Amino acid sequence: MNGYGFKRHLEVKARAGRSMAAMTKREGAQRILDAQATAEKMKSRAVIGALVILVVALAVTYLSRWQFGLATLLLLGLLLQYAMERLTTMVEASVANGFKAMGWPAESELNDETLEKIHRVLNP
């Protein structure tokens, strides 16, 4: 092996690192607000998803045996839970990256005072 693939991989990785470090405070603040808006939307979409899962499970129950309906409910519920956990993790990571871009500790708490500072950065 001539090592070409290895160098190419490192080059792509280095390029990705530079673009994350180049985020400005304004972009970091916008990322935090976008993540907060996404977290709010997730609640309503989880309820809608749960209702759709319930309707599908009831349809399967009506068209076949109750055991298949229960299996459908459990399986689709598990998929919804997995999707919500992944989205929650991505939102938390986005908030942490936004805090890092603004020069704040990644463990900062997102409260009213912090949101006020973020809005001041976006609207000077």
* Banded pLDDT at 20 (limits 50, 70, 90): low
The amino acid present at 23, given as its one-letter code, is: M
Q: How many CB atoms lie within 10 A of CB 111?
A: 8
Instruction: Decide which of 74 and 10 is more confident.
Output: 74
In eight-state DSSP terms, residue 109 is -
Arithmetic mean of pLDDT, 115-119: 84
Contact between residue 33 and residue 118 where contact means Cβ atoms under 8 Å apart: yes
What is the pLDDT, as a whole number, of residue 21? 53
Number of domains in the chain: 1
- Two tokens at 118? 């973020």
Whats the size of the chain, residue-wise? 124
Tokens 């673009």 belong to which residue?
19
The pLDDT tens digits for 46-57 are 999 999 999 999
Query: What is the span of the domain harbouring residue 10?
Result: 4-122
- pTM higher than 0.85, yes or no? no
Instruction: Find the angle CA(35)-CA(84)-CA(25) to the nearest 5 degrees.
Output: 15
Instruction: Decide which of 24 and 82 is more confident.
Output: 82
